[in-house]
Amino acid sequence: MELGKLHQEGKKIEADKMVKLLRLEHRHANVGESIRDMHRTVNRAETDARQYREAIAAAQQAVFERGIPLAEKQVYLQALELCTARLLDNHVSSGDILTNHIDRVLNGAGALSPDQLPDQRPRQNRPSNQRPNQGSSQRQKPPGQQQSPPRRRRPRPNSA
């Protein structure tokens, strides 16, 4: 009877393990798709931003160029304002899209709920070159031994 109970618990553990592995595979696929979408969004946003910056630079150059009539300079100023506004909108909308992608990656299907997160214990602050059992003070010489004086540098010969 005890052996049968152990066998059933083993099957249940194995089934739970398979479900977790399938969830991880599904999450891996979703995260990969989200990351590819993020790359496409960033590339598209950078291409658009580069085009807007080039148009802004051309409009600025035309505004300060000599010999261009005032009416034409006003058109360039309007184009400058429009491109600047669109560049700003491009950055804002791209940032919103990326935020949504990141949220989907972090909080999407298969993400751990707060009660499933591993125990987060505060870490001790210590320099990275110290081992856990090392103290923060340097080794002290025994009382009978003296500290050696600091080394002096030799003066360099002048080569004139």
Residue by residue, pLDDT tens for the chain (160 residues) are 788 888 899 999 999 999 988 888 888 888 888 889 889 988 999 999 999 999 999 999 999 999 989 999 999 999 999 999 999 999 999 888 888 888 877 887 656 666 665 555 555 555 555 554 544 444 455 555 555 666 666 666 665 4
Beta carbons of 144 and 138 less than 8 angstroms apart: no
- Is-contact 86 52, C-beta < 8 A? yes
Nearest CA among 87, 116, 98, 86 for reference residue 20? 116
CA 54/CA 62 separation, integer angstroms: 12
Q: Tell if the pTM clears 0.85, that is, is over it.
A: no
Torsion of CA 129, 134, 139, 143, to 10 degrees: 170
Q: Which residues contact 98 (CB under 8 A, 6 or more apart)?
A: 38, 41, 42
- When computed from its CA atoms, the radius of gyration of the chain, rounded to whole angstroms, is 33
CB neighbours of residue 139 within 10 Å: 6
